[in-house]
Amino acid sequence: MSGAVPGGAGPDRFDVPEADAFTRPYWDAAAEGRLLLRHCAACDRAHHYPREFCPHCWSEGGVSWRSASGRATLYTWSVVHRNDLPPFGERVPYVAAVVDLEEGPRMMTEVVECEGVEGGAGGALRIGMELEVTFRAGVPVFRPR
C-alpha cells in the first residue's frame, strides 16, 4: 500500500483504508465529493467493491471507473451501540447499513443525518427508503433523500 487517502488514513485513522495505486482514483474522487464505481464494458454492469476484473462476466478488459449517481435505497441496517475500535467508539450510536446503489451494486456504509437515530432507536429508518451519498472526511456515507 502506498500512501494515505487525502485527509484520511494514517496512524491515527482506522476508519479509512490506505489507498494503493489501484484504489487511489476512488479515494481521490471521494475526497472531492464524488462516488466512483467500477464498470464493465463487456457486460455493461457496475460493481463495488473495486476489482480489476468484472465479478459478473469475469472480463479482465474494459473495466474502468465511472461516476455514480449517488442515489441508493436502504437494504438493511443495524444501530451500533458499542464499538471499542477508535474512532468508532466516539461515534456510538451509529447506523451501519447496506444500501442498493441505483447502478445495481450493494455497498456497506453508514447512514447519517437521520431523525431519531441519535438516540440509537433507528428512528425514521425503513427498508427501501431513498438515500443520497454525502461524504465525511473523504468517506462516502448516506443520508435520507
pLDDT at residue 13 in the model? 56
Distance CA 39, CA 35 (A): 13
For residue 75, give the nearest of 42, 100, 45, 49 by alpha carbon.
Answer: 100
Amino acid identity of residue 81, one-letter, is H
**Choices 1.20.1050, 2.40.50, 3.40.1440, 2.60.40: CATH for 71-144:** 2.40.50
Q: What is the pTM of this model?
A: 0.83
pLDDT at residue 84 in the model? 86
Q: Could you read off the pLDDT tens digit of each residue along the chain, which spans 145 residues?
A: 334 444 444 445 556 778 889 899 999 999 999 999 999 999 999 999 899 999 999 998 899 999 999 999 999 999 989 888 877 778 788 899 999 999 999 999 999 988 766 555 457 899 999 999 999 989 999 999 9
All structural domains of the chain with their residue ranges: 71-144
Distance CA 19, CA 119 (A): 33
Amino acid identity of residue 65, one-letter, is W
pLDDT at residue 15 in the model? 64
Distance CA 102, CA 47 (A): 11
